Chains A and B, each alone.
Chain A
Amino acid sequence: MSEVKEKESPAGRDPIGPTAANQIRHGGKMPKKYCRFKKAGIKYIDYKDPNFLLKFVNEQGKILPRRITGTSLKYQRQLSKAIKRSRHLALLPFVTDQLK
């Protein structure tokens, strides 16, 4: 994803939401979360592209909550639908371990 420079402002560019590591990197403040679909102008999330959908799924194959990924509600719903379709087509697993 986007590279984070050492001296970047606290409103950083981390797409995956606030974690301890991110806080340390951004000088003790939470990086600003944003919806990557709104930002990139993506209107449609394709269920046929499992490599893209892997970003929104944890190692067990579970869909990540939007408070972690920063996705807006509208796109989280679309994303969720796409992941479920992908699972139906056996492009993504329902449950697994060590997915990534």
Chain B
Amino acid sequence: MMEIKTKVDATGMYETTFISLPEQTEQEYRELASKFEKLIKDNEGKIINEEHWGQLKFAYPIGRHHNGYYTFIEFKAPRAFISKLELEFSYDERIIRQLTVSLDKHALAYNEKRRAKDSAATKAENADKTLVKRKRTLTIREEV
């Protein structure tokens, strides 16, 4: 008897970047990130990577703000969960923008390389015992 695989059962690899309101404490940002991590884990998801890019200046103002705090999460989750996740993002008032993207094999390979490069860079910087530079410095605008 052939089992028919429905699309709903399938899992996929995703990454989401969300921007939260600026000028808050570090603890609040961690709390916000952990809220969504918990949500992902509760829905049979698995967190692969989490990055905090910190407070960056926007290229254009969003809702009267000129800066925002960027958080990036890479995870594996069932496909049906993604619409629910995006809905949760929209409910939270602290989040002003989000982007969830599904990852294909090329994107996954790129992300792995990027993580490897970042960890190598962190190790090198720590070995030098100099001040650790923010890795994601964007030269087109200043970091606030």
Known: A44-B109, A51-B140, A92-B59. 15 other contacts (CB 8 A): A46-B110, A48-B72, A51-B138, A85-B99, A85-B101, A88-B97, A89-B99, A90-B59, A90-B97, A91-B59, A91-B138, A93-B59, A94-B59, A96-B59, A99-B140
What residues make up the interface of A, taking CB atoms closer than 8 Å to B?
43-44, 46-48, 50-51, 54, 85, 87-94, 96, 99
Count how many pairs of residues, one from A and one from B, have CB atoms less than 8 Å apart in the complex. Answer: 47
A44 to chain B, nearest CB (A): 4
A98 to chain B, nearest CB (A): 11
Distance, CA A46 to CA B139, complexed state (A): 17
- Residue on A nearest B62 in the bound complex, by CB: A90
Which residues of chain A are near B110, meaning CB under 8 Å?
43-44, 46
Q: Mark B76-114, 1 if CB is under 8 A from A, else 0.
A: 000000000000000000000101010010110110001
